[in-house]
Structure formats: structure tokens, C-alpha cells
Structure 1
Amino acid sequence: MEYLPNILFALILLVGIIFFARNVKKLVRNINLGKSVDVNDNKPQRWKNMAKIALGQSKMVVRPIAGILHILVYVGFIIINIEVLEIILDGLLGTHRIFAGLGVVYDVLIASFEILAFLVIVAVIVFWIRRNVIRLQRFMKPEMKGWPKNDGNMILYIELVLMFLFLTMNAADFKLQQLGAVHYTEAGSFPISQFIVPLFDGMAAQTVVFIERSAWWLHIVGILFFLNYLYYSKHLHILLAFPNTYYGNLEPKGKFKNLDSVTKEVRLMMDPDADPYAAPAEGVAEPEKFGASDVTDLSWVQLLNAYTCTECGRCTSECPANLTGKKLSPRKIMMDTRDRLEEVGKNLDANQGKFVDDGKQLLDDYITREELWACTSCNACTEACPVSIDPLSIIMDMRQYLVMEQSAAPADLNNMMGNIENNGAPWPFNQMDRLNWKDES
């Protein structure tokens, strides 16, 4: 019976890790459904971007209030969870505050953890008010109804509960130190939780021990729950922001990629010595499909983008199409891509790893053509994203499919392309009349 709590703790920890590993495996599989793309160039710049954007939060502080509050929550939550290491060791070994031997260093650590916990609580409350009382416009868009809104609030509630459990655990521990209870030797400094201690005045030591142990258990179980909840939440960016910023696009904003097959055809047309009827060179594969109509047509980096989306709405709030009442929302593009990818993943799970046609695709069933053609390709969304997500690349790939596979471009665009082909200009004038405007001056 003496080791029963340690065994129980080890089992809970093991279950939490197994579920987390399963979710990670599923996540990696889904992302790898995307097409291969070479993103191993310029590694020094990629590491720099990851350090600056993901770790340094450089793009968050463009909006100072939200940025600073996010940094408090981010840094506070990560640093406070350093204590999780102590909790795990105590739970496995049956010790109590195993790092207390660090003396003054330990006191400083616990004090800093408590101050950060308090700041996290303040930031979370402000975030909740911004979402539910002030109701900032970017959180009220159509795509944020239902689960996305509930998920955003759920994260705030979980963080709030975990911080209160941490402070309650420390307050009860501090009270037991004052009472001279067995195993509760003097260790740590408690600048915040000391104000909770008076609530325990008059309680029996056994009752305070029960409170301290309950908060301790709930805190670690809550962290394991939160870790496994991440997969189903927008907060997956806590883990994915680092690889996503590393693999982010290094090309200048506004530079679009050329299709190799189209480039080859253009060069062939411009080469007077080339035989246009010659068979393709051996080993040169023609593209199976131009552009993208479903998630498996996108690259794995684009699918990583979709899972990394924080749903913060900065992209949509900067989108000129959205600001003028168009249906397009770059945030919805990423959320739809992720939802479709999840649907494909569940299809694979239900059919032993084989995809069974479900009669759906990303185009039309999730993202409408109206949304795609509303985009001005200005790159405001990619510039605004705090974790280097590129919604425009998905929009352009899907447009490419519409144009090159279905000839389904809007009439005005088709007219323009026809004029360029026939007249060498987007206007419907004969090439001989193109310079007539100069005679009008």
C-alpha cells in the first residue's frame, strides 16, 4: 500500500504519454498526405526565422496589447511547467519537493513561477473579456461560431484552472510548512500564494494535506489532459509554431512559383531548334494534375500550415477583400483545409489506412469559388500571420486548378487571357491599334 500512489501516478503518466504519442503519429501521417516539397535551402535563415518568430514572438507584438499579453501567457505557461519535472519525479519516487536542496535558487524559482502564474491569470481574464465582453470583431466572424468559439474559451478556462491549482497547491504547502507537518519541510518562496494561506486558518492539518494533495494531483492530471487536448484544439500551434516558422516561405512576398511543366513548354516554344512533336525525355514525368482541388494535392508544408493556424484572425482583419464585405476570410481557408484534412484522416482510420472516396473535396465542399476569386493576392494575410502561415499559396493552387483543369476562370479573366494571347495585351484592341492613344494627346 505504501507504493500504491507511486504506481497510480506512473500509470496515469504512461496513459497520458501513450495517448499523446498516438495523436502525434496521426498528426504526422495526415501532414505527410501532402505532396513532397524541397524546403531544405538556406538553413541559417530558417533557424533565424524560427528563433525570431516562434521563440521571440516578434510578429505578435505588432499589436502591442495582444502581443504582450500573449507573451506573458506563453512564457509563463512554459516556464511554470518546468515545475512539472519536479512533480513527475516526486510522483515516481515518492518524494516531496525533490529540488528543495537547491536552497536559495529553489526559493527564487518558486517565487518567479508564482509571479508568472499570477500574470497568466491576469492575461487570461483580459483575453476572455476581449472575446466575450468587448467582442472584438475578428472573433465574431462567421467561421468563429460554434466549436471554434467554444474551443478558444475552453483553452482559457483550462489555463485559468491550472494556474489556480498551482497557487492553491503552493499555499497549502506553505501552510503545512508553518504547521511543521511531516514531509513539509521549509522550502520555496511564495509571494502570491501567501495571500491564499489565511483561507486555511483553523483547518486541521489533515484537511490542509488533503487540499494540497488534491491540487497536486489535479494539476498534473490537468497538464496531461491539456497536452492531449492540443490535437483537437487551435492551440496545437504551441508545438507546431516552431517547425512551421522554420519551413516558412523564404521567397519575397508576391513572388509566385512557376510550374515546371509550363516553363518547359514555354522554353520549347521559344527554341527554334526544338521539335514540338518530340516525345518527352525518358524519366521526365508529366504532372498528373494542375493545381489543387483537395488536401492531398497540396504540399505537406501547406498542410502543416493548416494545423498550425492559431485562429487569431489577424489575417482576416488585414484582408482587403474581407474588409470590403467579400466572403473571403484567409483564416477560414486554413480552418477549412484543416477540417477537410481531419475528415480524410478519419476516413483512413475507418478503412485500415486506405482512403475510400467520400464524394467530397476541399474545393466547393469546403472552400467556395467565390472565396477564391475574391482574393487580391496582396499578401496582407501572410504578412500579418504571427506564425508564418501562407493562406495565399492554397488560394493560388486552387485557382490554378480551376483555370488549368476546368477552364473555370471568371468571364472577365478569361477575356483578359484571351486578349493577351491574341493581342499581346489585356485590352481588346488589334495589335496595330495599340499605340493609337499617343495620337490623342
Structure 2
Amino acid sequence: MAAQIIFILLFLIAVVLFTTKSKKIYRNIKLGRTVQITGNRRERWLTMLKVAFGQSKMTARPVAALMHLFVYIGFIIINLEVLEIIIDGIFGTHRIFSFLGSGYDFLIGSFEILALLVLIGVIVFLARRAVLQLKRFSGVEMTKWPKQDAINILVIEVLLMTAFLTMNAADQKLQQLGVYHQAGSFPISSYLISLLPEQATQLILIERFCWWFHIVGILFFLNYLPYSKHFHIILAFPNTWYSKLDPKGQFNNMQSVTNEVKAMLDPSFTPPPSDAVAKFGANDIFDLNQVQLLNAYTCTECGRCTSVCPANITGKLLSPRKIMMDTRDRLEEVGYELDKNKSEEEIKQKTLLDNYISREEIWACTTCNACTQACPVNIDPLSIILELRRYAVMEESNAAGSINAMFSNIENNAAPWKYSPNDRFNWANQ
């Protein structure tokens, strides 16, 4: 009974802590501007199924895609047995689903094979980071914590899968000794039996230790996720659902600017009334929309965006991954200050632009959309860069001389170059 009480308390504490942190993240995302969701909802569901569930964009790197598939499917399906562990922990039973007979044997056997595949995938990922040291896992934004965070998750997965297989091996040996009833098929853990002691008391100790380690490890993992880049395990699904359906090269227009242009072209046009003072672009997270802030929390820090960014490849300061990580860091900072009941004036002493993201970074972007194309969960760093640029140009009139010259030429000559509009097609005669 004492073990059951301890288990129930641990489970409730874990759920409460996870819920509390998740609510704070939800509150932080809601700090952004509301965005009107348009487009075919059926297409949105299909996008989520294809990109988040099906991981269709991972296939651009086949080896990583296969290993990630092992970890993704294996870890998710294996954790179905957590339901049995929870029931056993609450009611003090042992393998309560064993009444399923051959069906239970099939499930446990499948879980073991998947656990082995997870171990293989995780070991490959550890080797890529620690031994091969792939370039895309480094960068100025990849400081000590982001690198350690990735290692932490991989080590946790190794420990959880090892505990699962060891628990099953000890359980199987106890079944052979007649201590536990016959239940389950153990195609992988059976190879570990020879490494275990013969005494039933020692086997029970090993089996119980691994059982507790496995479930407490999962509860710890659950509460580690919101503090980690691996929160994308959960957020990838809403993120892909809300992702942009328009062609990637199609930029959004600001309604206030559209109304102003319409009024200039058509004197009879009357802009709709609005109490809000129009602000062009964004210089902080409050000016970004909620989908962009969701993007920031969903970022996996995989570096695929930065690895294909032409600006980064040619040595420019821009890293699309850093844009997303900086946005998330600023969000977390604002959330922390809200928790401390700091005033709006204190919170806005810093801004995303300048304090986190520099002007040099945003103007290095070529708007080629390579980053958005490469992202495996449809994150859009370019949209944030464009909003920061809009603020610099339209609110501060702060742009490079060459850009201001281009704007002037477009305004006066209807072309980026300084010559008469009548001459703009002369090149065709050459």
C-alpha cells in the first residue's frame, strides 16, 4: 500500500508540474497578436498528418530520417505500456493486461523490438554529435545549454530503454522460477537473462528497481520537455496545422497599408474604422503574431534551416535557427518577468530587435525561403525577419542607404533603377 501511495503522489505531482509549465507557455504564446486562420481546414489537417505524423520533410536526409523514425515510432508506441504501469502502480497489480494472452505476447515482443530500434537510433544520433560533430549542430547560437540539452534527451532515452529491457529480462527469469505468472514474449531481453543473478530476491530487486526507474524517468522526461527543445514532440502537431498554406514566396500585406493605398487610388474608398493605432512591423514579441511565437517554441534546433541559408553559407551573421531561438529566449524572459509581476515599463526595457537580434542579421537575409522549405515542422523564420525589417523601415526610417535609394527609385521611376520608366524595357532591344 505504501508503494501505491508513493506512486500516486509522484504521478499527481508530475502531472501538476507539467500542466503548470504548459499553461505558462500557452500564456506566453497568447502575448502575440491574434491571427485570422484562413484556408481550407481539410488541407491543414492533411498537412499536419503528412508533416508532423508522417515526417515527410525529414526524408531530405535519409539516414537521419530513418533513425528519427526508429526513435519516434518506438518511443511513442513503447510508452503505450506506460498505461499498464500506471494501472499496476495505482492498484498494486503486476502486468494487468496479461489476460490478453497471445495478444499481450505480441505487444510486449513488439515493444522490445522497437526498444532496440530506439537504442540504435539514439546511439547513431549521439555519434553524430559527439564523434562526427556535424557542422550544423554548431554555431554561435549553439551555446553550452542547447548542446547539453540535446545530449540530455538522448541519454535519457538510452537509460529508459535499457531499464525497460532489463526489467523485462528480470521479469522473464522470475517467471521461469515460478515467482511471477507467465506473461509476455521477450525476443530481445531474453539475451540479457544470462547476465542476471539466479536468486529470486535479487531478481525481484532488479525488476522493481527498473520498474520504478522507468516510470519515474518517464515522469521526469515529461516535465523536462517544456524546458527543452524537445517540446516539439507535442507542439509539432499544432504548429504544422497552423502553418502557412500560401506559396512560400507570397508575402503578406499589412491591412493598414492596403487601406491607405486603396484610399490613394480610389477617393471614394473609406477605410474601416479602427481604434487601434497602426504599428508597422515588430520590434518585440508583442508585435509578432501567435503562430510566429508558436513557431519559436516548436523549433527543434536541428540546424537544417541554417545549413541551407545562403547568407550563412557565405559567412554572413544571419542564422535562421538563431532567429527562432532568440525569439523563444525573449518570450521566456518576458514570461519570467510576468511571473515576478514586473511592470510593463520594466518588461519593455528590452526588445527582441537590437537586444536579441541585430540589424546586421535581419538585413543579411535574401528572402529566398530556403529556411522555411528545409524546416521539418514548417517553422517560418523569414516571417519574423520581415516583421523586424518592416519596423526598421516603416517605424524608424532606418535602412541602409542602398535600400533607401531603391525605395526612392521605385517611388519615382516605378523601378529599382534610376532611369525613366519609358526606358525600362530597353534591355530587350540589345
1:250-329 equivalences under 5 Å are: 250-273=245-268, 283-285=273-275, 287-329=277-319
- The 3-state SS of whatever aligns with 1:142 is coil
* Change in CA separation of 1:327 and 1:352 when aligned onto 2, cut-off 3 Å: closer
Given that residues 261 and 286 in structure 1 are in contact (C-alpha distance below 8 angstroms), is that contact kept between their aligned partners in structure 2? no
Partner of 2:52: 54
2:327 is the alignment partner of 1:337:
yes
CA distance in 1, matches of 2:24, 2:428: 64
CA distance in 2, matches of 1:245, 1:418: 39
* Change in CA separation of 1:248 and 1:412 when aligned onto 2, cut-off 3 Å: same
- The 3-state SS of whatever aligns with 1:356 is helix
* Change in CA separation of 1:52 and 1:273 when aligned onto 2, cut-off 3 Å: closer
Counterpart selection for 2:140 from 139, 142, 164: 142
Given that residues 261 and 287 in structure 1 are in contact (C-alpha distance below 8 angstroms), is that contact kept between their aligned partners in structure 2? no
* Change in CA separation of 1:253 and 1:282 when aligned onto 2, cut-off 3 Å: closer
CA distance in 1, matches of 2:158, 2:357: 35
Partner of 1:218: 213
CA distance in 2, matches of 1:281, 1:127: 55
Shift of 1:429: 2.3
- The 3-state SS of whatever aligns with 2:31 is coil
State the TM-score, normalized to the length of structure 1.
Answer: 0.94
CA distance in 2, matches of 1:288, 1:262: 9
1:32-431 equivalences under 5 Å are: 32-181=30-179, 184-202=180-198, 204-273=199-268, 283-285=273-275, 287-351=277-341, 356-357=346-347, 359-431=349-421
Which of 346-355 and 106-115 deviates more? 346-355
CA distance in 1, matches of 2:268, 2:221: 64
Which of 121-130 and 417-426 deviates more? 417-426
CA distance in 2, matches of 1:59, 1:281: 42
The residue identity in structure 2 corresponding to 1:271 is D
CA distance in 1, matches of 2:85, 2:426: 81
1:64-96, CA deviations, whole angstroms, 9 ceiling, x for partnerless residues? Answer: 000110011000000000000000000001100
Q: Which runs of 5+ in 1 are unaligned?
A: 275-279
Partner of 1:28: 26
CA distance in 1, matches of 2:222, 2:37: 29
- The 3-state SS of whatever aligns with 1:144 is coil
> How well do the aligned residues superpose, as a CA RMSD in angstroms?
1.7
The residue identity in structure 1 corresponding to 2:185 is S
State the TM-score, normalized to the length of structure 2.
Answer: 0.97
* Change in CA separation of 1:106 and 1:407 when aligned onto 2, cut-off 3 Å: same
The residue identity in structure 1 corresponding to 2:18 is F
Given that residues 33 and 300 in structure 1 are in contact (C-alpha distance below 8 angstroms), is that contact kept between their aligned partners in structure 2? yes
Partner of 1:277: none
CA distance in 2, matches of 1:160, 1:353: 44
Shift of 1:316: 0.6
- The 3-state SS of whatever aligns with 2:378 is coil
The residue identity in structure 1 corresponding to 2:223 is N
CA distance in 2, matches of 1:180, 1:405: 77
* Change in CA separation of 1:353 and 1:94 when aligned onto 2, cut-off 3 Å: farther
- The 3-state SS of whatever aligns with 2:141 is helix
Which of 224-233 and 344-353 deviates more? 344-353
- The 3-state SS of whatever aligns with 1:141 is coil
How many pairs are equivalent?
Answer: 430
CA distance in 2, matches of 1:140, 1:71: 23
CA distance in 2, matches of 1:432, 1:375: 32
Given that residues 197 and 203 in structure 2 are in contact (C-alpha distance below 8 angstroms), is that contact kept between their aligned partners in structure 1? no
The residue identity in structure 2 corresponding to 1:80 is I
Given that residues 116 and 188 in structure 2 are in contact (C-alpha distance below 8 angstroms), is that contact kept between their aligned partners in structure 1? yes
* Change in CA separation of 1:12 and 1:273 when aligned onto 2, cut-off 3 Å: closer
CA distance in 2, matches of 1:435, 1:99: 77
CA distance in 1, matches of 2:340, 2:61: 43
* Change in CA separation of 1:286 and 1:424 when aligned onto 2, cut-off 3 Å: farther
- The 3-state SS of whatever aligns with 2:107 is helix
Given that residues 54 and 241 in structure 1 are in contact (C-alpha distance below 8 angstroms), is that contact kept between their aligned partners in structure 2? yes
CA distance in 2, matches of 1:438, 1:332: 43
CA distance in 1, matches of 2:4, 2:237: 34
- The 3-state SS of whatever aligns with 2:325 is helix
- The 3-state SS of whatever aligns with 2:56 is coil
- The 3-state SS of whatever aligns with 2:415 is coil
The residue identity in structure 1 corresponding to 2:395 is E
The residue identity in structure 2 corresponding to 1:6 is Q
CA distance in 2, matches of 1:390, 1:266: 27
* Change in CA separation of 1:200 and 1:377 when aligned onto 2, cut-off 3 Å: same
Shift of 1:178: 0.8
CA distance in 2, matches of 1:46, 1:393: 19
Q: Which runs of 5+ in 2 are unaligned?
A: none
